[in-house]
Amino acid sequence: MQVRGYTARCMCNHLERDRECVRENRIGIPMSAMVKLSAELRGWIEGNLERGCAPEQMIESMIAQRFDSAVARALIEAFVQARRSGVPLTGDTLTLDTSPDRYVYETPRLQAGHSLHTADCTVSVLIRLERPMLAVLADVLSSAECDHLISLARPRLAPSTVVDPETGENKVAAHRSSEGMFFRPEETPFIATLERRIARIMNCPMENGEGLQVLRYPPGAQSTPHFDFLIPSNLANQQSLARSGQRISTLVIYLNDVEAGGETVFPEVGLALTPRKGHALYFEYCNSRDQVDPLSLHAGAPITAGEKWAVTKWMRQRRFVSA
């Protein structure tokens, strides 16, 4: 049965729609919310439940009208439970349990099969993991392409920066002791060729990609556990999300064989991947519901001998527009 239309208005006081950064790079979400329940909203929910509309359908309708997904689910579940118990909800406010929905794993964007075909090469899929969704890919770049990319990036390296979660400003951080640089999209014919290949591998429009970032990790350098998706805890990230949507996937291509250390580690699932020249790590962390995957937490282990070079591509939900 179809849910009758409802134009959502802001019924909630001080509801936090966004995930926020908390200590140790974890994601925190309010566990409860006070919702002001208008007569219009109450009538819409009770009327549709009385007509036999499916609660899940009603939740999806509310989310489509820009209700927070956790609030929408908790609100509908509260009314369903009240109907079952025979005790109607009274008053014009409700305190809801808004514990985050469990991340829903959907059909991966990465194409199925043992090989991924691009216009200029065939990439072998060595490993696939479902949760988090990741894959190890062989020979994404040739040895000569890796060397050329390093030669282009080396003169432009600068200490890597991170975004301050409070101010949104870039700053050098002790926990990320690498050097890096960004290429502008299609900066050269060589870069454009790589971007076309990468877009095909990641199964996303080329225009959705941020510029290629090359990183060099000297001996002792590492990156501590972090997420690649953007946390809307500052104005800069909020503006970037409004322009281009959330990051949805990452491709990390290793540009050299590391003598010792430098593994990419997923601590939530106990996985460590050893860098190999020309091979790549692909992973996804945002679904069609705009949920982000907490299992995508990852880190770069310290370099214990030699150095590590890698190039990273992030894909967005929409065309990437820089500030």
- C-alpha to C-alpha distance for 8 and 258, rounded to whole angstroms: 54
Mean pLDDT value across the chain: 86
Give me the helix-helix angle, 39-50 and 69-85, nearest 10°. Answer: 60
DSSP 73: H
pLDDT at 10 exceeding the cut of 60: no
Structural domains of the chain, with CATH:
20-97 (no CATH), 115-316 (2.60.120.620)
Q: Which two tokens stand for residue 286?
A: 């945002």
45 with 58: CB under 8 angstroms? yes
**Letter string b/e over residues 70-87, b meaning 16 or more CB atoms within 10 A of that residue's CB:** bbbbbbbebbeeeeeeee
pLDDT in tens, 44-67: 999 999 888 888 888 888 888 878
pLDDT category, 3, cuts 50, 70, 90?
low
The residue with tokens 């059909």 is: 107
pLDDT category, 169, cuts 50, 70, 90?
low
The predicted structure's pLDDT at residue 65:
82
> Within 10 A of 125 (CB to CB), how many other CB atoms are there?
17
Mean pLDDT for 233-247 is 93
pLDDT at 13 exceeding the cut of 50: no
pLDDT at 8 exceeding the cut of 50: no
318 with 310: CB under 8 angstroms? no
User: 299 has which bridge partners?
Assistant: 265
pLDDT at 167 exceeding the cut of 80: no
List the one residue out of 105, 19, 4, 6 whose CA is nearest residue 70. Answer: 19
User: Of 40-49, 213-222, 275-284, which range is least confident?
Assistant: 40-49
pTM of this prediction?
Answer: 0.70
DSSP 184: P
The predicted structure's pLDDT at residue 25:
32
